[in-house]
Amino acid sequence: MGKTTTAINLAACLAEKRKDVLLIDLDPQANATSGLGLPKEPGASLYRAFFGEVHALDLIKPTPVKHLSLIPSEIDLAGAEVEIARGEHYLHRLRDVLSETIASGRFHFIILDCSPSLGILTMNVLAAAHSVIIPLQAEYYALEGLSVMTRLIQQLAENGVNPGLSLEGIVMTMYDGRTNLSQQVVQEVVRHFGEKVYETLIPRNVRLSEAPSFGKPIMVYNPLCTGAVAYRQLAREFLARRNGGSDEDDAGSGFKLNSPFEKSVQKEAPAFARASDSMAQEVSAHAIP
């Protein structure tokens, strides 16, 4: 439970708060596509848009979730890796493809779900995005990948590939407050990254694992489970950071939930720092690698 689960459910929870969201599935496995109940159809992905055969705006499809749209993926997208690499300005192909969509102003947020590998498509995502959200499992092996990703973000910004690229935040997932390991990993990440770590913890939850097989985000599949509560809280926190510290739809509520789950998390992870209010810059596209 990581990047695609977070991409789908953060997008759906933002849409639930009446934000117009576009989720772009750039993983050839198309898990975000099937996780929202859409079929994996040939020609539905950005593959043809990369080569000027169609506009990205023409590929946008509605989903069962109001305010949430999707550009699906398909297995053919894997072939784009080789073909894009042969062309000029290959790192900026996605940026050029999405420029019209961003300029249209149709969406408050565009969320890009990446492939799990650091291939050409993922590099294109990082070159096009305004910021990156990193879902991190509360396990020690995940810490190694985190250091690789943060160095890559810094290098792309410093080398001029994407000067405006920044780390939006780190989301701790698969958190189990019953284990010392989860608490230690969270505390270690907070020690190194401080305010960049979201206060919201995404728990291990059976319903979160089941929801994709039914083609539904968690807030549709089981809106009262702890997974749904956590992702709704993450959406509040995401918006609050961008609105100068308060969620415009939940003014005065802060980042705390009145639920047994959230209270237990706060007790079990006392070192989990309060998120900073300094992330209010306007961002159009967010990558979830």
Q: What pLDDT tens digit does each residue of the chain (289 aa) get? A: 589 999 999 999 999 999 999 999 999 999 999 999 999 999 999 999 999 999 999 999 999 999 999 999 999 888 888 888 888 888 999 999 999 999 999 999 999 999 888 889 999 999 999 999 999 998 888 888 888 899 999 999 999 999 999 999 999 999 998 889 899 999 999 999 999 999 999 999 999 999 999 999 999 999 999 999 999 999 999 999 988 766 655 533 333 333 333 333 333 332 322 222 222 233 346 767 7
- Rounded to two decimals, what is the model's pTM? 0.84
Does an H or E element contain 213, and which? none
The one-letter amino acid at 141:
Y
pLDDT of residue 249: 56
**Model pLDDT, residue 248:** 58
Residue 7 structural domain: 3-288
C-alpha 55: how far from chain center: 23
What pLDDT is attached to residue 177?
87
Using the CB atoms, write b or e for 98-110: b if 16+ within 10 Å: beebbeeeebbbb
**For the sheet containing 61-62, what is the strand order?**
61-62, 68-71, 21-25, 109-113, 285-288, 131-137, 166-175, 197-203
Contact 21/50 with Cβ under 8 angstroms? Answer: no
Question: Residue 278 has what pLDDT?
Answer: 27
Both tokens of 132, joined, read 């990156």
Nearest to 170 by CA among 152, 154, 140, 147: 147
Q: Give the span between the Cα atoms of 132 and 150, in whole angstroms.
A: 9
Residue 9 and residue 238: Cα distance in Å, rounded? 13
pLDDT at 247: 63
Token pair, residue 20, equals 């117009």
Structure tokens at 5: 């689960």
Domain CATH for 124: 3.40.50.300
**CA distances, 200 to each of 171, 193, 244 (Å):** 7, 15, 17
Instruction: Label the pairing between strands 21-25 and 68-71.
Output: parallel
State residue 245's pLDDT score: 62
Please count the structural domains in the chain: 1
Radius of gyration in angstroms for the set of CA atoms belonging to the chain, rounded to a whole number = 18
Q: How many CB atoms lie within 10 A of CB 251?
A: 10
Can you spell out the DSSP letters for 31-93? Answer: HHHHHTT----TT-SSHHHHTTSS-GGGG-EE-SSTTEEEE---TTHHHHHHHHHHSTTGGGH
202: helix, strand or coil: strand
